Amino acid sequence: MAGGEPVAIPLDKSPGEVMKLMEKCDAILLPGSRADVNPETYDQARQSHTADADNKRYTVDALLLQDAYKMRKPVLGICYGLQMLNVHRSGTLVQHIPDYLSLPKRELVNHSAGRVVRLAHKVDIDSVSRLAEIIGTNQAGNSKLTIPVNSSHHQSADVIGHGLRVSARCTEDGIIEAVEGVSPDHFVLAVQWHPERSVEDDEPSRAIFRAFVEAARSSRKALAGQFDSV
């Protein structure tokens, strides 16, 4: 996708094997999951609507993020990947959006609409964010860029983790829809929607993957330069 070559990381590998595979990778992509991050990892009790955790996935993702931050490799998180990134950076999650918002059902945005609804709601993107730079700016003077997105989640980021900032929120209810790293020289971006489902006919989705792959190429050159100078 966008010129990148994927390398799958099996969840049954040992930590040493995972890190060996990571030596071949210039960036990491954390995709979605039907599981939820274990609330114990962010010091909360499990609530009634919270799905079971995938402990193997959590362990591997934690190793990938540890390596990405150590080696300054680009990170792209999608849906669950955003939540995992935020928890890894000591943030917390909203365990079930309808409970968190406490609104009548008729007033709730259907964040878990899934594939049956192509575009579920709109998101407002901070105009000074990396995400806005990737997707493109709105009319001059506007502080936000608004785009429609799909939606397949019932959780979201709550308290934002260290070194991250909010870059997009749901237009209708303010739920966090994207976060990114604060360091301009380390590509870290995570979105709560699924751009991979819309790349064929949605330019913002394609732009996200193009930026990620370009960041991976730049990372490869930078890491190669470090090793050449040793």
Q: What domains sit in the chain, N to C, each tagged with a CATH number?
A: 16-225 (3.40.50.880)
What pLDDT score does 22 carry? 92
The alpha-helical segments, DSSP class H, found in the chain are 15-22, 55-71, 80-88, 97-101, 130-135, 203-228
Q: What percent of the chain has pLDDT over 90?
A: 77
Res 230: pLDDT: 47
- Higher-confidence residue of 119 and 58: namely 58
Q: What is the pLDDT of residues 110-168, one digit of tens each?
A: 888 887 778 889 999 999 999 999 998 544 445 569 999 999 999 999 999 999 999 99
Q: In this predicted model, what pLDDT tens digit does every residue of 187-218 receive, in sequence order?
A: 999 999 999 999 898 999 999 999 999 999 99
pLDDT attached to residue 140: 44
175 CB contacts (<8 Å, ≥6 apart)?
A: 94, 97, 101, 109, 111, 156, 169, 192
* Active site residues per annotation: 79, 194, 196
Q: What is the pLDDT of residues 76-112, one digit of tens each?
A: 999 999 999 999 999 999 999 999 997 777 668 888 8
pLDDT at 228: 53
